[in-house]
Structure 1
């Protein structure tokens, strides 16, 4: 039998997933006002699939006659709006650094017709139906990591960029920290509490969680910031599995999207590539290492990737 926390957690997920159908059946005034002045929307409709949002393609024409295409994401609830705010900030950070690596973010906000419905508008990019090539994505990601330095030299971000279910009560902390170990720990704890709220308490899992916090995380991350070792905070995508990548159909260059960015250890972004079920896997990690060397101590590298998979 589910306890009160499980009931509340499942209710939260159900509400986040139940984006009103009518929210994607028209273009709200706050969305249309974000288009270039004089633009006319000529067509819009569903495009692609997403777990937490409704997604649409918008076709418009500028006053000059130039055709435009946009991608619109729509969700609802306060937590959902915070997720889109975080994604917009993430896209802005990456686009400033490497404008050909992500869609250009245009606007983010709430519907004029319903303040509980939120949107994210970005440029529409035509994609090829495959993951980026092993010769292109790792090099581009390494370039982002090498160039994307933290504005204040610390780990973290200026707002929350994680999943909707880690908003509010489960408040995953992405606030600024001078320590990668401290930031990672503050991100890890709410994930465990969320899983516990969904599946119920388990004594063995509680014991393992205590060991992770007190032993495993310090053992693997503290050496990265001890003695001569000093990793620097890099701009991360934050959720770089193959479903969040693509190839630009016109330029054939790699693209990434749906970021949940923050400044952290660059190896964090490689963790999803260590899963055999993904299309982007170990060869991509090996290619990445040609552009960004493993951190010291190198003998802990594989264990760090396992930890970052969390």
Structure 2
């Protein structure tokens, strides 16, 4: 199979004395290295750039936890991307899950923006196919509110009336109640950590995560989508919390978890429709009842 000329030129710069062959997105060199290579369309340029920066930062924070980026850019208006190719094995075992949780808690989620710009990210990213306009905010409350509003705006354009109405109430009432007084630092997140974006390297047996939607946020956000669709054993969550305990107030950890899960249910509703909107609404109404209860208690 003929290798894209842009990709071939970049690979030859990486290994001047090698020859290359490949099929699809996997290209192998005569030296034994394998590369994951892709070329996109012009409208995907933002997405490629966001993923490239995320992988660079993740490698700096936790070498080997994500595929190493070798080259990225544009050629004739089309984005390209070359990273380490990983031959992935079966789903996470308890042992691999513990290793992943430890590396997340002690390495990736210990990494802070060197310029200390706050919560957010410097480039637009994509969570699935959803474009997420990034920027910088001084507080986690502001950052998360902005993320939620983007999804609600998208759902409003699709005519999703009830979910948007309830979601706006969550932004106005629940987010301030649960996030305003949190004392948390912005740390680097993968941003879309479900089982489809995690696995085990066949060559090393080590856990690996990929396809990031990174930004600097509250570490507990990372655990939300991991809980939603199964596949992460309980050992993952137990190990993570042992290394990185919940923020204060710990008594509201479950409510924060449901608030963060809501983001992903809304995103799935935006992408796929179906029952995801209903699942988001049920969680949001439960959160609204929780903050209303707190308001009633405080007025006694």
Moved more, 153-162 or 236-245: 153-162
Matched, 1:270 2:223: yes
Structure 1: which 5+ residue stretches go unaligned?
A: 1-24, 47-55, 225-229
Matched, 1:176 2:136: yes
Q: CA deviation at 1:238?
A: 0.5
TM-score (norm 2): 0.79
Q: CA deviation at 1:302?
A: 0.9
Structure 2 residue aligned with 1:299: 251
Matched, 1:95 2:53: no
Moved more, 146-155 or 183-192: 146-155
Residue number among 188, 194, 218 corresponding to 1:235 in the alignment: 188
| Structure 2 counterparts to residues 56-205 of structure 1, below 5 A | 56-61=25-30, 66-78=31-43, 80-112=44-76, 115=77, 117-131=78-92, 133-153=96-116, 154-163=118-127, 166-167=130-131, 172-198=132-158, 200-202=159-161, 204-205=162-163
Contact 2:152 2:168 in 1 (8 A): no
CA-atom RMSD in angstroms: 2.0
Deviations 1:177-205 (A, max 9, x none): 1101101111111111222333x241x33
| Structure 2 counterparts to residues 2-81 of structure 1, below 5 A | 26-35=2-11, 36-46=14-24, 56-61=25-30, 66-78=31-43, 80-81=44-45
Structure 1 residue aligned with 2:167: 209
SS in 2 for 1:136: helix
Contact 2:66 2:210 in 1 (8 A): yes
Moved more, 292-301 or 245-254: 245-254
**Residues paired across the two proteins, number:** 257
- Structure 1 runs of 4+ with >3 Å offset: 39-42, 163-167
SS in 1 for 2:220: helix
Query: For residues 134 and 245 of structure 1, what CA distance do their matches in structure 2 show?
Result: 10
Residue number among 213, 219, 223 corresponding to 2:177 in the alignment: 219
